[in-house]
Amino acid sequence: MGKIYKAAPFLFAFISAFVVIALYYNQNSFLEAFEAKTYDLRFRDMRGPIPSSADIAIIAIDDKSIAELGRFPWSRSQYVRLLDRLSAAGAKVVLFDVFFPEQETKAIDRSFAAAISKAGNVGLAVAFDFDKYLRVIGSTHSRPEIERAAAGIGHINLLPEDDGVNRRNKLFIEAEGKLVPSLGLMGAMTALGEKEFVAGSFNISLGDRRIPVDADYSMWINYAGPPGNYPRFSFTDIVNGRIDPALLKGKVLFLGATALGVYDMRVTPFHSNTPGVELHATVADNIISGRFIRHTGLEALFDMALIVVLGLLAFYLTMRLRLHVAIPAVFLLSAGYLWLSYWIFLQGHWVSMIYPPLAAMIALATGGSFRYLVLDRSAREMRSMFSSYLSAKLVSRLEKDPDAAKIGGDNKEVTVLFTDIQGFTSFSEKRPPQEVVARLNEYLAAMVQVIEQFDGTVDKFIGDGIMIYWGAPLAQPDHAKLAISCMLAMKKEMVRLSAKWKEAGVEPFLIRGGAQSGEAVAGNIGCHGKKMEYTLIGDTVNQAARLEGTAKYYGVDFLIGESTYLMTRDTYRYRELDKIRVVNKLVPVTIYQLLGTLSEPEDNWVAKFSAALVLYRARRWEEAGTYFASVLDEIPGDQPSRIYLGRCEDFKKNPPPDDWDGVFNRMDK
């Protein structure tokens, strides 16, 4: 009996999966109707509109045109005017979703045919009639003399699904021994410069392009959006010269009715009243852009594999966890699969959203019933095994922060540091790529170790640069001091690395950086299901990046913003360098050079520089220049003193205006 109990769960699991596979294989009509609706859901409510091809546009037979030109259908002389305008504008191809089956007058028809022939890029529509077996039993063409003048014909038959929604387009119809392409395929062929297509096994070849189709050579339509997603030009605006010809040049133009009164409306996943001409434009767009939806044997194999996988996983969770844990776990598993299927859809593959979750639900129901009826006595054993499958630490973290994996952000008080290598570009230009990468990796590895020692977070590597921050995701009250300590440690580490490289006869590096403290938005930034990363954005980040660049101008290694200085001046020693106003900012900021800790003795030249700065801001150029020169005598390479000495000389000759506030406007980022 015990063996039966042990084998029963596996038996139930496989039976559950087999039942769903049987339903899938036989295409149960009830479930298939739901599956079809998920196709619509993915377009309308999940993905939403996407940009359409800039090369495709609609010439609309709209209410405005009918109001100006009169009741539709119009005289073919209007189409002659249209083609003259389009030819002059340089349109690539014009595809008519309109018939001309009856004679208007011989003169007008000859004139229209001549205009079509002269344009040389006009495709006309044909519609076929079918019997219940979808065999061609008739057709509607434009008049022979008009059709002969066209560059080709394309069928406009749209065959909706059982629920009335148009999800596919039959790319060609065989009639009288010829393969007649759909209007959309014809437009794509012209746009791609292809004269013919080849029907293969579940694909249609268009040059080097392979269009995925089903057994009936129907292509699933990847809708770009609701009606109006493609640019529309009113028929009357074109014929009356109200459209800039540049907007029509090189365009693939589909001409058709958009006015409700003309009754050429179709049901699509996005809208129940979509002009039929937009469906043909969408088909052409899919083929030109290669943005297909594949629903072939490969996707069917994936569906069946996931039916088994989700069914077994759900059964496993149900048998191993308490029901109050297993139920949400299986629902999460199903939700995860739904997200996966949607992500796969975005990659151009339609896999089932119904059958694999159904397998998981059946497995949950079957497994839950079996546990309740047969295995309830082993509940304590199951509870004892709980910790083997779920980390208590992870659960605790998720309970405290359930939004950790969501896109969004919080305002955080942070310190941001940007560093890079001085002269790295010239270094890399003189070295082979392998040496450059090896040296860069050695440097970055050493810096990362230092950063981790001071609880910093490496946000990203930007070439030879590093973006580091403190204060997020967890608050760090001493984030500014941690950042300054880290900078000093990085300088010390660079001394060690430089000594090592000199011993090896290799050119050492020097680094510089900029740090600023303040508020920033911190959170997971990006596109869910594509790429996300936890990062910081905001003015504090921008200021830190600009300070790093400004450090090069002043010739110092680390430049500190005023906020960081105010938070750390009781521990670290600085030299005030300047008051600057950066690009796009009105309020000036004071910047400081990091010198060391307060426990270290202050050099005499630092006091001289401070005194010189006071004299400089008091417009006492001669005295200030003397002090700056004195600093240069002690520190010959001091770039800030050299800069100020130059300014003093300039201001002696060209004094600043009376309202000068001592601020230097830094124009470079």
Report pLDDT for 408: 55
Distance separating alpha carbons of residues 171 and 159, to the nearest angstrom: 11
Nearest residue to 649 (alpha-carbon basis) of 617, 624, 612: 624
DSSP at 106: H
Using CA atoms, how far apart are residues 46 and 339, in angstroms rounded to an integer? 10
Q: What is the mean pLDDT of the chain?
A: 84
Ramachandran angles phi, psi of 244, nearest 5°? -60, 120
How many whole angstroms separate alpha carbon 544 and alpha carbon 550?
10
- pLDDT the model gives residue 572: 93
The alpha carbon of 134 is separated from its chain's Cα centroid by a whole number of angstroms, namely: 42
Contact 471, 415 (CB under 8 A): yes
Q: pLDDT band for position 145 (50/70/90)?
A: very high
51: preceding bond cis by omega (within 30 degrees): no
pLDDT at 406 over 70: no
Residue type, 124: L
- Tokens representing residue 449 in the block: 């170790």
227: its two tokens:
């009606």
Backbone angles phi, psi at 118, to 5 degrees: -65, -40
Structure-derived torsion over alpha carbons of residues 58, 62, 64, 68, reported in degrees to the nearest 10: 100
Distance of alpha carbon 603 from alpha carbon 625, whole angstroms: 19
Whether 489 shows a pLDDT value over 90: the answer reads: yes
CA angle, residues 500, 505, 508, in degrees to nearest 5: 60
DSSP, collapsed to helix, strand or coil, labels residue 582 as coil
Give yes or no for a contact between 138 and 126, defined as CB atoms under 8 angstroms apart: no
Q: Does 640 sit behind a cis peptide bond, omega within 30 degrees of 0 on the bond before it? A: no
Give which of 289, 292, 291, 288 is closest to 93, Cα–Cα: 288
Q: Taking residues 95-121, report their average pLDDT.
A: 91
Please give the pLDDT value at position 112: 92
Instruction: Report the range out of 24-28, 34-38, 76-80 with the highest average pLDDT.
Output: 76-80
SS3 553: helix
User: Would you say residue 597 has pLDDT above 60?
Assistant: yes
Give CA–CA dist 597/573, Å, rounded: 5
Percent pLDDT > 70 in the chain is: 89
Could you read off the pLDDT of 571-586 as tens digits, one per residue?
A: 999 999 989 887 666 7
pLDDT at 169 over 50: yes
Q: Is the peptide bond before 433 cis (omega within 30 degrees of 0)?
A: no
Q: What are the residues whose beta carbons fall under 8 Å from the beta carbon of 121, sequence distance 6 or more? A: 91, 92, 93, 94, 151, 190
CA distance 297 to 354: 17
Strands (E), 184-273: 198-199, 203-206, 209-212, 218-220, 232-234, 252-257, 265-266
Mind giving me the DSSP string for 304-332?
HHHHHHHHHHHHHHHHHS-HHHHHHHHHH
Q: Using CA atoms, how far apart are residues 296 and 510, in angstroms rounded to an integer?
A: 58
Q: What is the mean pLDDT of residues 443-463?
A: 87
The C-alpha atoms of residue 7 and residue 636 are separated, in whole angstroms, by 86
What's the first-to-final CA gap in the chain, in angstroms? 78
**Least confident range of 15-24, 87-96, 479-488:** 15-24
Number of C-beta neighbours around residue 178 at 10 A: 9
Rounded Cα–Cα distance for residues 494 and 510 (Å): 7
- pLDDT (tens digit per residue) in 494-539: 989 888 888 888 878 888 999 999 999 887 776 665 666 778 888 9
In whole angstroms, give the CA distance from residue 613 to residue 663.
Answer: 12
Q: Is residue 254 pLDDT above 90, yes or no?
A: yes
Q: Looking at residue 668, what is its pLDDT?
A: 61
Tokens of 433: 């790529």
Predicted structure pTM score: 0.53
Q: Mind listing the domains of the chain with CATH numbers? A: 2-46+295-370 (no CATH), 49-289 (no CATH), 410-600 (3.30.70.1230), 601-669 (no CATH)
Tokens 């049901």, located at residue: 267
Of 94, 85, 83, the C-alpha closest to 57 is 94
DSSP secondary structure letter of residue 474: S
Q: What pLDDT, on a 0 to 100 scale, did the predictor assign at position 576?
A: 92
Confidence of residue 382 (pLDDT cuts 50, 70, 90): very low
On the question of pLDDT at 68 being above 70, the answer is yes
pLDDT of 626 over the 70 cut: yes
DSSP string, 141-176: ---HHHHHHSSEEEE------TTS---EEE-EEEET
pLDDT digits (tens, 9 = 90+) for 42-61: 888 888 888 888 889 999 99
pLDDT of residue 149: 92
pLDDT by residue (tens digit) across 323-350? 777 788 888 988 898 999 899 998 988 8
Q: How far apart are CA 48 and CA 443, in angstroms?
A: 45
Check residue 231 and give its pLDDT: 92
